Amino acid sequence: MPLNPAILALNLVSLTQTLMLLLAASLGVQILRHWDLSSGSERQLALERRTELIATLVAWVCAGTGLALLLFVYNAEQLSTQFVGAMCATGVLNANVWGWPALLLKLGLFFAGAVWLILSRVDLQAPDHPLIRPKYGLLLLIAPMALVETLVQWGFFSALNPDLITSCCGFLFGPEGAGVAAEVAGLDPAASLVALALSGLAVLASGLNYRLRGRGGGLFGLLAVAACLVALVAVVSAVALYVYEHPHHHCPFCLLKGGHGFIGYWLYLPLLGATALAVGVGLMQVWRAHPSLVTIIALEGRRLTTIALVLFTIFYAVAAWAVLTSNLILWST
């Protein structure tokens, strides 16, 4: 395992997050079994006191999942110079079987953590804490995921061997490659851009409708997930071509390089952030009729939707700018 401060920090952060989440999960079990706000028992009072502390710790942990994801991708990009055959983070993730699972698990933790933060914020504003069981039930799913992610990440870094030759992004996202990446890269760019535009209009219209009328929050969350998937496909199959000004370079990680203005960060960060917020807004709608949450969910939903719409707009604006200002011409009339 290459030893550098970033790898040590990632492993330490993951271990710390896992330990804190497991501790919080143990409290979650007690809450699911014994929570009764109407009770004045000593056990209930102890649960209420511990809940405030644990909620604060978990909030910091969940917020840190986004930073951990960013550091993981950045570190993989930096390590690419140490591996023969690697041009970017793709080669490093391909260096062993643990690379891509580690990335996917970090993405899962990011979205789960964002949803937990949103539910917790809503719950803490209500005097009767109606979401305390759902949010701690979710925590019982997040904690094992964090444990698996820590082990997989450790396995990934431990198995890295700079003496081995790894495959570059041109192979994985090229016609010679096999699997989902090659299939996505092989999609028709024109069709991908049309799908990107239509999904963008749909999710923006849905979010604006909920923002103005207070209806359709669940639909906004569902469309956001669909728009995110379409956007990621479109980046690989079409947008990347215009950024690189090369008709056969599809790598989504080379977009993070300084030679391309770090445009990848301007694409991925707003897209993932907007999707996470929209999913949280959609999930909140399950409890929108609860008496103590009617006003809270209405206000929080509109606030989060506004932020999500701004982030979605940034993503689509950057993607459009990349296509319209490129010197690459794929079609001519």
**What DSSP string runs through 263-327?**
HHHHHHHHHHHHHHHHHHHHHHGGGTTSTTTHHHHHHHHHHHHHHHHHHHHHHHHHHHHHHHT-S
Single-letter code of the amino acid located at 243 = V
Q: Which of 24-28, 142-146, 275-279, 329-333 is least confident?
A: 329-333
Q: Is the pLDDT of residue 26 over 70?
A: yes
C-alpha to C-alpha distance for 38 and 248, rounded to whole angstroms: 64
Q: Sorting pLDDT into bands at 50, 70 and 90, what band is 321?
A: very high
pLDDT confidence of residue 30: 80
C-alpha to C-alpha distance for 311 and 267, rounded to whole angstroms: 10
C-alpha to C-alpha distance for 196 and 271, rounded to whole angstroms: 12
C-alpha to C-alpha distance for 308 and 271, rounded to whole angstroms: 9
In contact, 192 and 229? CB cutoff 8 Å: no
Please identify which residue in the block is written with the tokens 């979650």: 28
C-alpha to C-alpha distance for 68 and 44, rounded to whole angstroms: 35
**Among 53, 55, 69, 52, which residue's Cα sits nearest to residue 13?**
69
Calculate the alpha carbon distances from 14 to 17, 25, 96, 155 in Å: 5, 16, 20, 13
Q: Sorting pLDDT into bands at 50, 70 and 90, what band is 187?
A: confident
Instruction: Give ∠ CA 40-46-52 in degrees, rounded to 5.
Output: 110
Residue range 104-119, pLDDT digits in tens: 999 999 999 999 999 9
Enter the tokens of residue 290: 């609860």
Q: What's the gap between Cα 13 and its chain centre?
A: 17
Binning the chain into helix, strand and coil, the percentages to the nearest 5 are 75, 0, 25
Calculate the alpha carbon distances from 143 to 11, 50, 109, 200 in Å: 16, 18, 9, 33
CB burial string 216-251: b at 16+ within 10 A, e below: bbbbbbbbbeebbebbbbbbbbbbbbbbbeeeebbb
pLDDT average, residue stretch 154-164: 83
pLDDT confidence of residue 333: 46
Q: Is the pLDDT of residue 265 over 50?
A: yes
Domain ranges of the chain: 1-162, 168-333
pLDDT confidence of residue 250: 80
Across all residues in the chain, what is the average pLDDT? 86
C-alpha to C-alpha distance for 89 and 109, rounded to whole angstroms: 20
